[in-house]
Amino acid sequence: CPGNATVTVCHSRTTDLPSITRQADVLIAAIGRANFVTADMVKDGVNVIDVGINRVTDDSKKSGYRLVGDVEFDTVAPKAAHITPVPGGVGPMTVAMLMHNTLSAFKASQTPTA
């Protein structure tokens, strides 16, 4: 039925993790390990939200590193219906919601003047 969902919470050491992740219609990765989720761990048409942000060595960059998520973007993206990039995926949404909540808190703190 539309609107129903079964939520499964796993961690990096969950037994037979790929067999579980391959069942997911929506996969949210927040593991803290660079490129942990690979193409063999997802099914075609999955929607991936990559919350991870990891620094990996990259000698071609002036800084000597680049940022990647917990999902191996280049191999998973072709299988995914939607996928958030890292950087630039959930980060801007986090900032937008922080600003929204800050404004809401400010408005709630104001007492009406008589």
Q: pTM, whole model, 2 decimals?
A: 0.82
* Domain extents in the chain: 17-109
Q: Are 54 and 89 in contact (CB under 8 A)?
A: no
Q: How far apart are CA 93 and CA 73, in angstroms?
A: 19
Residue 58, CA distances (Å) to 6, 44, 64, 87 in order: 39, 30, 5, 15
CATH topology of domain 17-109: Rossmann fold (3.40.50)
**Residue whose token pair is 């104001």:** 110
Q: Are 57 and 21 in contact (CB under 8 A)?
A: no
pLDDT digits (tens, 9 = 90+) for 52-67: 999 999 999 999 999 9
pLDDT digits (tens, 9 = 90+) for 11-58: 999 999 999 999 999 999 999 999 999 999 999 999 999 999 999 999
